[in-house]
Every structure is written in structure tokens, then in C-alpha cells.
Amino acid sequence: MSDGAPEQRQFLRAVSREEALARLRAAFVPAPLGVETVALETALGRVLADDVAAAVDVPGFDRANVDGFAVRAADTEDAAEDAPVQLALNAELLTPGIVPGVEVAPGTATPIATGGMLPRGADAVVMLEHSDRAGAGVAVTRPAAPGAFVTHAGADIARGESVLFAGQPLGSREIGLLAATGTGEVPVWRRPRVAILSTGDELLAPGEPPRDGGVYDSNGHILAAAVREHGGEPWALGIVRDDEAALQAAIEQALAADMVLLSGGTSKGEGDIAHRVAGHWDDPGIVVHGVAVKPGKPLCLAVTRGRPVVLLPGFPTSAIFTFQEFVAPVLRAMAGRREAMRSRRRATLPLALPSELGRAEYHMVGLLPDASGGLAAYPIPKGSGAVSTFSRADGFIVAGERSRGLAAGSEVTVYCLDEAQELPDVVAVGSHCVGLDRMLARLRREGYAVRSLHVGSLGGVEAARRGDCDVAGVHLLDPETDTYNRPWLPDGVRLLPGYRRRQGICYRADDERLAGLAGTALQTRLRADEALVMVNRNAGSGTRVLVDRLLGDWQPPGWGVQPASHNAVAAAVAQGRADWGVTIAPVAAAYGLAFDPLRDEHYDFLVPESRWDRPAVARFRALLEDEAMREELANVGMRVDGESGE
């Protein structure tokens, strides 16, 4: 290695997930941290630390369940519609909260409201509907059995009965139960205090203005929310720069908490310093550095001063995934909670997933209803560095350490991230477009549940062919016929004309090499100047088909850089990593780029015939004729004209 080059050290030996958890639990045995008493009105979400027994009966007295008359059942046994029994009325009305003062003697009745206390002598209640008032008396038209419409004292909860047990999380139902027994304060386990640090010179706090090379700190916020979800109390200590002394001081402060979480700095590169700070501890210090899982290999687990310290990877999906797998079980035990049990769903994998031997790979997936009435598990096509991967996933599937991958069509087990999963009314799979986003947002405002997965135009064609979606957004140009989308239409799928988007070449307006050029002159300059670097598009996208047609056999500098979105192309040009690329007009405008049109492309929708007349799909189709929707699409650079393909 040359002098001055940053040194890339290797990981310590990566261990399996099971061994990593075993090592952590051997060094730190998680247990509840102590009891505190809180007022009932603040107990929501807490965990009971002791059994709670009822101090009173519920109800505390015999009470009426209906509006009517408190009677002696024996007085009504001969009552009938055509031969009512006449009873004299006592001179009191028993509404809730009134203590009876008059005994119900034979041949009498007392008016009583729902919830009223049953008076002495009465053993039943006659409903108003089974009686007629007659002056100072009442005519009973139906017999009442003993105990009719009466709830006896303690029938719901008996004094001394255990109503809740230690370890029970307190939700709204449990709060109501405690209130019904007169409990004003409850013993709960203390919430573990979890210090959270984000490390890295590149990090910005949300709300700060963006800067080149800057990344907003999402990890700190998602980890704080996840800590709350699992029963902890987050202590956000903010961002620490890549300075070993500063990080050492921040960790020293953080060790006042019950647990410490850091994100970033866990790898063994020259700029990763968190593991070096932890490497000084020997009580026992680092117990695991490197786990044979993907995402999350750089995970570092340590214990010092009797506290777990977890160094999570900096990539967002890696950070939250390793938190859920390795930190959440420990945190829940410290909070007095049981380990969460994930629900599982069986699904079909529509796409092949390659896997690397030697470590377990966890693939985030979205669950969609398929044509057979089952579920399809679509991989979320973004890596561990993507913020959206975890938030858009319904669950994950696992390719084991000895697996070379999962074949298309495989039956897989999906480990769900949430217990409650909203079933979508409209599923959109295919190429992403801000116009489609606006249409789905409109449906959402109208009360429809929507779901979208961005897998590219060809992925959308395949999803429509399989019947795994309601609509597939596509913009595929057939070079032979110069036609969009229609030549790609599978059997059993209909084409819904969408809208047009203008594709063109974008470049920086202040680039003197290209300023003022357009059309053939611009393209000639791009081919003539080898210093001009392009940014390509990914194979399978509609734009890539157009780019390939534009380039022919020419592969200019930058051809191998193939991001998967219009925005990525525009960002590369705007930031100077490339000089030109092909994108759509509204995206070029959003990044302040010059734009030279190539052609209008058709962004249409493929709809399986079996789903064409579904109410939600019919509403989606109708939106393309809605004037307000058309105006909204026009505002983001889309033009609806009802034509398709040609």
C-alpha cells in the first residue's frame, strides 16, 4: 500500500447471528431495572411490575341492566299480554348513584333506570317494554324470572380477584380495567434509558440546510422511535464528528444511560473510529465485531460498566434491521417485556434472488395479493444504504448461510415486520413516476388503500403478466416499430393510456462546452468531446431503451454508471459527477439543469383483465378523465391526451 493511502483493516471473525446473541447474553444478562409507581393517567404503554388484585367488587352492588321496574319475580309469574299483573308503584325513582330507601314489598314495584341499585326485596327487573303505566300503578305483561336483567355485585370482578399480572403491557383496555377497580396508581417497570449517538462528518441534523456531501441523520430519529416502540426511553445525544477524543467524551456521557447505541463507524476503515474507542474496554469490552448476516455485517456488540453498547452500521436499513434483530430482544427484557414474536406468512417469490455463500441474507419484501388468491413477495430493489427500504417493506425472507439463492417461483416464509397489515385496494408495480404518485395520493385521500413498488418497466410487465398488480406503470419503446408499450403487452393484460412525459438530454446550464447547443449540434459535441462524461440508466428501464437507441454502438465515458431513476441522473449531472444524461423535463427543471428535448414518451398502465372492473381500478381509470387530476398532472410536467403507444 502506498504511503498516505488510508488503511482498510479487516473485520474480526464474523460469527453467526445465534453465536452473536449468545455472546452478548453471556456478557450481559438483561433484566428489568426496578419498579416505579405512576399515576393511572400516565400508565399507557408501561409494563406492570406486580400483580394487581381488585380492592372492590365490580359492580359494587346489584344493578339493573335495563330501564324498567324493580320487582319481586314471584309477583309476576302469572303475567300475560291479555292478563297483566297490577303492581303498586313505590314513591322513589332509582337512577344511577341513588341509594334505595324503600323496600319492594309484595305487590309493589319501584321505577329503576339502567345502572340503578336494586332495592331490598327486589330480585328482578321488568323492562319498560313489558309493562304499562296505569295511574299510581304499573301493569306487567310478561313474567320476570329471578335475576332477570340484574347484574349481581362482583359478577364482573370479585374483590381480591387478580385482574392483571406482572409483565402485562398496559393498553387502553387494561387502563379501563384498572380504573373500574378504583386503581389510581400502578407499579410499573422503569423504562430503560437508551443513549443514542450518530457519528460521521457527513451528517446533518434534519432542518439544517443541505450541503454537498451532506447526509441527513435519519438513523438517530428512527432508532429513537424504535426504542420507544420496544419500551425504552430514548436519550438523543445528537451527532458526533469523526474525532476520536470527541467520540470518547460523548460515549463517557452516554454511559450514564442503561444502554448506548451508536450508528456509523463500525467498519474497519481508516475513518471508522467508534470500534477503536470500544476496543479500549476490557470489562469485557467488545464481544462481537462482525456478524455473518446481510445487511448488517459490521455490527459491533460490546459491554462495559455493566451496560450494553451497540455499534450499529451507518447505512439506514442495516442500522434498523440489526437493531430489530440484536438490540430489541435485549431492550425488551430490560423493560420487562416478552420477546416479540413475528407473525409469518407463506408467499411466492416471483423473482430469483442470488445469495452469497457463508452468511445469511435477509431480503426485504413487499407482500402483494397474487392472481391465485395467495401472496407474492416482491423484493424491495434497494440496498442497505436506502432509507426507504425498511419503511416500505412488509417483512423479510431469509436465504441461509449455505444457500446460493432463491429461485423464481419458490415458496418462501415471510417474517412480518408488523402484526397489522393493511390490504391495498390498488397495487401499482412498475416504473416510478411522480405523476403516478399524484394519482395514488388522490386515491388515498378518497379513502382507498394504495401500495406501490418500483421495479422498473420490465418488472411491471412481468407483474401484470402474473396478475400480481392492479396497474403497472411502463414507458417501453419498441425500436423496431417506434411504438411505446403496446408491443410489450402480455396476453390477458389490457393497456390503459396514461400521459406523456418529455424525455431529453440534461446538462449544466453553465457548462461552456455545451451552452447554447441543441438538437444535432448538441449530440455531435457530446460524441466529439471525450472529456464529456455521461450518466446512463439501468437495464430494464424505459429510458434505457431510449438511451440505447440514441447511442447505438457508442459507449461514451460514464456509460457503465447506470442508476435506476431520473432523479439520480439529474443529481449526478448537477453535482458534477457527470456532464450529461437523459431524464424527463420536470426532473431536469427541479435540479436547475438545461434540457434539450428528444421526444415525448408514453407513460401508460398495464392492467390485468381480471382486475379491470374492480371498483378501485375503475376509479383509477376515471382519474385520467378527471379535470382536476389532469391539471395536477400538468403542474408536474405530465400531459394526458388519451392516446397510447403510437
- The stretch 513-518 carries a mean pLDDT of 94
- Least confident segment among 69-83, 260-274, 488-502: 260-274
Q: Report pLDDT for 359.
A: 83
**Which of 172-176, 370-374, 425-429 has the lowest average pLDDT?**
370-374
Question: Is residue 404 domain-resident?
Answer: yes
96 and 235 inside one domain: no
pLDDT digits (tens, 9 = 90+) for 570-598: 999 999 999 999 999 999 999 999 999 99
Residue type at 554? Answer: W
What value does the mean pLDDT take over residues 503-513?
96
Say if residue 51 is in the same domain as residue 69: no
In a domain, 640, yes or no: no
Q: Higher confidence at residue 494 or residue 370?
A: 494
Indicate if 171 and 45 belong to the same structural domain.
Answer: yes
Do 265 and 360 have their domain in common?
no
> 193 vs 416, which has greater pLDDT?
193
Asked if the model's pLDDT at residue 518 lies above 80, the reply is yes
Above 50 in pLDDT, residue 321?
Answer: yes
Count of all residues that appear for the chain in the document: 646
Residues 562 and 546 in one domain: yes
Tell me how far CA of residue 629 lies from CA of 211, 265, 439, 590, in angstroms: 35, 47, 7, 21
Full DSSP string of 188-255:
EEPPPEEEEEEE-TTEE-TTSPP-TT-EE--HHHHHHHHHHHTT-EEEEEEEE-S-HHHHHHHHHHHT
**CATH number of the domain enclosing 276:** 3.40.980.10
Distance CA 190, CA 299 (A): 28
- In this structure, the answer to whether residues 44 and 183 fall within a common structural domain is yes
Residue 375 within any structural domain of the chain: yes
pLDDT band at 356 (very low <50, low <70, confident <90, very high): confident
CATH of the domain at 548: 3.40.190.10
Which amino acid is residue 179, in one-letter code?
Answer: A
Do 248 and 283 share a domain, yes or no? Answer: yes
Is the pLDDT reported for residue 25 higher than 50?
Answer: yes
Is residue 260 in some structural domain?
yes
Question: Among 416, 443, 472, which residue terminates a domain?
Answer: 416
Quick one: 179 and 51 in the same domain?
Answer: yes
Q: 313 and 220, same structural domain?
A: yes
In a domain, 206, yes or no: yes
Report the share of the chain in percent with pLDDT over 90.
Answer: 72
Verify that 67 and 125 share a domain, yes or no: yes
Residue that is written with C-alpha cell 445465534 in the block: 18
Does 40 lie in the same domain as 68?
A: no
Q: Does the residue 224 lie in any domain?
A: yes
Q: Is the pLDDT of residue 491 over 50?
A: yes
pLDDT of the residue at 388:
66
Indicate the pLDDT class of residue 9, thresholds 50, 70 and 90: very low
Our count of domains for the chain comes to 5
Of 601, 618, 636, which one is at a domain's C-terminal end? 601
- Is the pLDDT score of 383 beyond 60? no
> For position 166, which CATH number holds?
3.90.105.10
Domain contains 629:
no
Average pLDDT score over the chain: 91
> Domain of 358: which CATH number?
2.40.340.10
**Which domain-ending residue is among 585, 601, 617?**
601
pTM: 0.78
Q: Are residues 45 and 163 in the same domain?
A: yes
Helix axes 627-635, 434-445, angle to 10 degrees: 140
Burial annotation 603-625 (CB, 10 A radius, 16+ → b, else e): bbbbbbeebeeeebbebbbebbe
Q: What pLDDT band is residue 5 in, cutting at 50, 70 and 90?
A: very low
- Who's near 209: CB < 8 A, 6+ residues apart? none
Look up the domain containing 533 and give its range.
500-601
Pull the grid cell for residue 464.
401484470
Give per-residue pLDDT as tens, 224-252.
999 999 999 999 999 999 899 999 999 99
Least confident of 125-129, 264-268, 395-399, 622-626: 264-268
Q: What is the CATH number of the domain that holds 75?
A: 2.170.190.11
| Residue 1: pLDDT band with limits 50, 70, 90 | very low
pLDDT bin (cut points 50, 70, 90) of residue 318 is confident
Which candidate, 644, 632, 218, places its Cα nearest to that of 437? 632
Residue 111 lies in a domain: yes
274: pLDDT strictly greater than 80: yes
Instruction: Average the pLDDT over 493-503 and give the result.
Output: 95
